[in-house]
Amino acid sequence: SHSFTGLLAFTDQLSNLQGVTVEPKEDNLFEWKCAIKADVSMIRIFVLETFEFNTWQSDSPYKNGTFRFTLSLPDNFPFKPPTVTFATKIYHPGINEEGAICVPILRDEVSPDQYDINKYVQQLDLQWKPMTTLSTVLYIIQEKLNNPSADDPFEPEIAAVLKNDKTKFLATAKEWTKK
């Protein structure tokens, strides 16, 4: 069963996150409506364990965009990770057409990489753990949104454009952000 105290702690932690708004969906404390304001005027490099983000600084194509998503907590939370579904369409290699985002912290099972044991260990390190805070999840989503990468993509075509034609990627992402 859900921990009501844990949820109250979650709402407390959110006051530390800039550019993120969260409110329960109607009276359901296990469905949260979230919005992230893509604010990259600050140069931030965040390192969580071994997970690094490169900062795009002011040329982020998502600047001034607000991206809405739902954060759903499963019945066996915190033993299983929440589900994140973006409602706002976004041109991003790490967010697919259905609105799912590719971040290791939202996975609770990592399959061994038969070719790279170090990669597997790193993934294990970054996957969901019951002590992971929801504010950490939101921070990582915000950083992933602000820092698109062609590595570990959900949308290979978009990742290929980012890798091979950054100008085209930036123009398309900016166009989608304006919509």
Kindly report, residue by residue over 43-82, the tens digit of the pLDDT.
333 333 334 444 445 567 888 889 999 999 998 888 889 9
| Residues 111, 115, 121, 122, Cα dihedral to 10° | -100
Quote the CA–CA distance of 81 and 174 in Å, as a whole number: 31
Q: Which residues pair with 25 in a beta bridge?
A: 28
Cα 147 from chain centre: 10
Kindly report, residue by residue over 152-163, the tens digit of the pLDDT.
788 999 999 999
Residue 146 has, within 13 A of its CA and on its CB side, a CA count of 28
Tell me if the domain spanning 4-178 has CATH number 3.40.50.720: no
As a three-state string, the secondary structure of 74-139 is CCCCCCCCCEEEECCCCCCCCECCCCEECCHHHCCCCCCCCCCHHHHHHHHHHCCCCCCCHHHHHH
Kindly report, residue by residue over 83-139, the tens digit of the pLDDT.
999 999 999 999 999 999 988 888 777 665 556 666 655 655 678 888 888 888 888
The pLDDT, as a whole number, for residue 49 is 36
Catalytic option among 36, 73, 102, 134: 102
For the chain, the structural domain boundaries read 4-178
* 102 is a catalytic site residue: yes
The more confident residue out of 105 and 175 is 175
> Which among 24, 106, 39, 107 has a CA at the least distance from the CA of 70?
24
